[in-house]
Each structure stands twice: as structure tokens, then as C-alpha cells.
Amino acid sequence: MQVWGGVDFGGTTIKLGLVTRQGRVIARTTLATRQHADPDAFARGVASALHRLSRAHRARLLGVGVGAPGLIDTTRGCIHRLTNVPGGWRGVRLGALLERRVRCRCVLDNDVNAVALGEWSFGAGRGTRHSVYVTLGTGVGGGIVLNGRLVRGAIGSAGEVGHMAMALNGPRCACGRLGCLEAFVSTAAILRRARRAMRQGARVLRSLAERAGGLTPEVVARAAVAGDQAARGIWREVGDALGRGLANIVNLLNPERIVIGGGVGKAWRLFAPQMRASLRAHAFEAPAKAVSVVRSQLGDRAGIIGAAVLAWEQRRHGGMP
Ligand SMILES: [Zn+2]
């Protein structure tokens, strides 16, 4: 059987697996990032795990894709900067380093770009030519597929939808700037609003947070489902800001589909109605009617599948994808 390796390089874990050309993950495993937190240890650990899985499944590895969290120079196959991963990775040609160990072509790209490509190929973006993926969580990221190709831009940084400037004097974003979309809809933004609501007496929210041993977006979602008005209001605000952000994307790119993923995306039912209303209110009518906004489908396999797609896309296009 012919397979591609997909490697989803995260701040806590490295998820990797073998993926068929039909997008099926036939085997997967996880490595702890802190035990592979320098380039050599990463390449050694990933290569040995991929070889072990290939042998166990009598599969032939044709190529490997790696999605890494940060700014990637895809023309040179090297890391410009990683987020949430300690150690010296700057300037490391991770693709080439891994290639020497796995003995097949290795491609490196941004992790959210990989997921965007995975959802477009085998998930919620399937069947479209123009699709945008947006992930909601600790950070807010995105990946753009236009005319069936990933859009990377001049230096590989395209798709940073979380840092679209939404408000002139908005809340402070994790990137240091004011009023980014992320500052309105990220985990931190939701928790900031929830803490304020608890100070103002949101009782259901407070008791659920105490029972759960802390405040998380899931707790805010449960409080909203249980009828807590403040919690419901928080999700409406998330939907409102997100809808405005999506309206910018719709006006700028005219996609057929927008796929929403990430941990916060799981509260879909709570923010989607307001998100759709806000999108309709802020985007031009024709492109707003032409776009469908849907939930991601691949779950935690998305990073592995998307990274594998990176590998065979490059093969198909005979150069950097
Ligand atoms: Zn920002």
C-alpha cells in the first residue's frame, strides 16, 4: 500500500500518521513535543515513528508533510519563527533535516495552512474551488484555498485572519496590537468577558465554573445551554464579531465556503445564528448569499491529513505547492 506521512507539530504533542491517497488515516501515533524540542530530536523521533508505522502496516512511504505552528518560509523549506514551541528553530531547514532520515521527500508548511488544505480536500471544504478555513481557539488562524491552490503570499504569511484589524481602539490582542479579530473571539477574550459577568453576578456561570474547577470556554458554553443570560450574551458577542470578520473575508475573497474549526468552534450552535446575521449585515449581498459557513469535519485528524496532502500536492505540481 502506498501512503503519505502527515505530521502535525503542536506545542504539546506531535501527532503523526500514515494517510492514503483517499485521505484515510490507516495508522497514527503521538510524540511529546518536550521530548523532541530540538530539530535533531524531532527529525529522529518522527522518522523512527513513521518507519515503525510503515513496517507494521506494510506500507510504502512516498512523501511526508509537516505542519508547524509559526511562520514558515516555504520557498526555502525553513522555519522563520515558531509559536509556543521552545528552543532554537529559527532558520532550521526542517524538511531537509527530516528527509535525510525518512529517505523520501519532506515538505514543510504552516500548521493552519495544512488543516485548511485537509478540510478542503477531504472535509467540510470538499467539492469547492474557493474555500477559507478559520480556526477558533487560544489563537485565531486561517488558511485560504483559491482556485484549488493554497494561498501563501509573498513570504508565506497569508491567511492570518485572526489579526485583521476590526476596531480602531478595540481590546489588546495577544500579538500586542489593538482591535484584532482574535481579541474579540479567542479563548482569552471569552474568558475575560465571562470573568466580568461573574463579577456582575452571573450565578449559573459561577457555580458551573466552581464545579469544573475553573473557567473554560466549555464551561461558558454549558452555562449558556443551562440558560445563563450573561453566558448567552457572550456567545452572541462572539458570533457578532466573528460575522464581521467573515464579512471582510467574503468581501475580499468571495469564497464558496468558509469552514470553522478549533476548540471554540465546538460551541457552534451558540454563536452561529448571530454569526450568520452579522455576516449578512456586513458583507455585500451577492457574495454573502454565495458563501456557506460550515463546521469543520476532520476533527483532530485534520492536521495529519492536511500535512499529508501538502506532501502529494508538491509531487503533483512538481515543485513547491
Ligand atoms: Zn492580533
At 158-168, the pLDDT tens digits run 999 999 999 99
Give the model confidence (pLDDT) of 229-287 as tens digits.
Answer: 999 999 999 999 999 999 999 999 999 999 999 999 889 999 999 999 999 999 999 99
Distance, CA of 258 to CA of 250 (rounded, Å): 9
Q: Ligand 1 mean position to 84 CA, how many Å?
A: 16
Whether 47 and 93 map to the same domain: the answer is yes
Q: Ligand 1 mean position to 173 CA, how many Å?
A: 5
Confidence of residue 87 (pLDDT cuts 50, 70, 90): confident
Confidence of residue 13 (pLDDT cuts 50, 70, 90): very high
CB count within 10 Å of CB 290 equals: 15
Q: How far apart, in Å, do the first and last CA atoms of the chain sit?
A: 24
> Does 321 or 294 have the greater pLDDT score?
294
Average pLDDT value over all residues in the chain? 94
Q: Ligand 1 mean position to 180 CA, how many Å?
A: 5
Q: Ligand 1 mean position to 217 CA, how many Å?
A: 20
Q: Ligand 1 mean position to 177 CA, how many Å?
A: 5
CB count within 10 Å of CB 201 equals: 9
Q: Ligand 1 mean position to 178 CA, how many Å?
A: 7
Concatenated DSSP letters for 248-281? HHHHHH--SEEEEESSGGGGHHHHHHHHHHHHHH
Contact criterion met (CB below 8 Å) for 272 and 83: no
- Give the residue numbers spanning the domain of 14: 2-111+300-317
Whether 160 and 291 map to the same domain: the answer is yes
Helices (H), 58-199: 94-102, 111-122, 182-185, 187-199
Q: Ligand 1 mean position to 184 CA, how many Å?
A: 10
Cβ neighbours for 160, distance < 8 A, ≥ 6 positions apart: 141, 142
76 is a domain residue? yes
Q: Ligand 1 mean position to 160 CA, how many Å?
A: 9
Q: Enter the C-alpha cell of residue 97.
A: 533535516
**pLDDT winner (highest mean) among 68-82, 95-109, 307-321:** 95-109
CATH number, domain containing residue 64: 3.30.420.40
Q: Ligand 1 mean position to 179 CA, how many Å?
A: 7
Q: Ligand 1 mean position to 139 CA, how many Å?
A: 9
Whether 287 and 311 map to the same domain: the answer is no
Q: Ligand 1 mean position to 175 CA, how many Å?
A: 4
Whether 135 and 282 map to the same domain: the answer is yes
310 is a domain residue? yes
